[in-house]
Amino acid sequence: FYGATEGNGALVNVCRKSDRQLRGAVGRGGLGFDLVTGFKIVKFDVENECPIRDSKGHCIEAAPGEPGELLFPIKEDHPSKRFDGYTDPKATEKKVLRDVFKQGDAWFRSGDLLCKDDKGLWHFVDRIGDTFRWKGENVSTMEVSQILSSFPGVEEANVYGVQVPGEAEGRACMAALRGQDLQSREKLDALQSLCEKELPSYARPKFLRILSDMEITGTFKHQKVPDPVFMMDPKSHRYVPMDSQLFTQLQQGRSKL
């Protein structure tokens, strides 16, 4: 199923476990379901984190299989489709998208990217804000972190996009990893092999930041220790320590990723 406690809509998929075609779907519907619920998936600009609008200022419904933001229609006179919001009016307004398909309409923003195939199956894609673009492709932080977390020794993986001087095509993938013995040559090469096997080239981390456990002094203050950073060297195609020379090359835009 898919839903949110403050939302005014939900999806559910009730199917037999033996039906492999339906596994992983968070919702199932058809023409009747669409007419009754009115749920829509609209095209979404991942880089600017906003729905895409046409020349008339209206949102564009996503094609079958195309990811977009899931919207629920708001009907103030309908008990299950109204949206009462939060105690903070500004927070409430952030969850409401107006003038979506016609002037004056209002829709609840799920804050999630989903897609619906031509068979009426709804699939979760990613949280908005947890996706960034690199080389013209969308990178899912959730997908990358799941792969990295499966690597032996990795206890925690936090993935995000970072801007690189001289690189105009989005943000490069940075992975902050916490774990045991992740800086050895053997582990770095094995991690690289895993990424090459499980991830498309545009989603593979260009930078690795190895997080050390926070050490606390006798006065209960956190010791500030710089975390080692490794970079995917475009020449050797291996993770190498980020030294001052490599950093300068990046700053000057002389090291292309």
According to DSSP, the residues that pair with 42 across neighbouring strands are 61, 69
- Which pLDDT belongs to residue 135? 87
Q: Mean pLDDT throughout 54-76? A: 93
**Burial class for 178, CB neighbours closer than 10 Å (0-12, 13-18, 19+):** middle
Percent helix, strand, coil in the chain, to 5, is 20, 30, 50
Token pair belonging to 51: 């729905």
What is the per-residue pLDDT across 216-247, written as a single tens digit (0 to 9) for each?
455 555 445 578 999 998 888 999 999 888 88
Using only C-alpha atoms, the chain has a radius of gyration, in whole angstroms, of 22
- Calpha distance 180→153 (Å, rounded): 5
Is the C-alpha dihedral spanning 17, 18, 19, 20 positive or negative?
positive
Q: Mean pLDDT throughout 37-58? A: 91
- Which pLDDT belongs to residue 21? 61
From 92, 100, 116, 122, select the one nearest 7 (Cα to Cα). 92
Please give the mean pLDDT across all residues of the chain: 86
**Burial class for 206, CB neighbours closer than 10 Å (0-12, 13-18, 19+):** buried
Q: How many CA atoms lie within 13 A of 171 on its CB side?
A: 20
Residue 238: how many other CB atoms lie within 10 Å: 13
- Which pLDDT belongs to residue 12? 86
pTM check: above 0.75: no
What is the per-residue pLDDT across 95-104, written as a single tens digit (0 to 9) for each?
999 999 999 9
SS3 1: coil
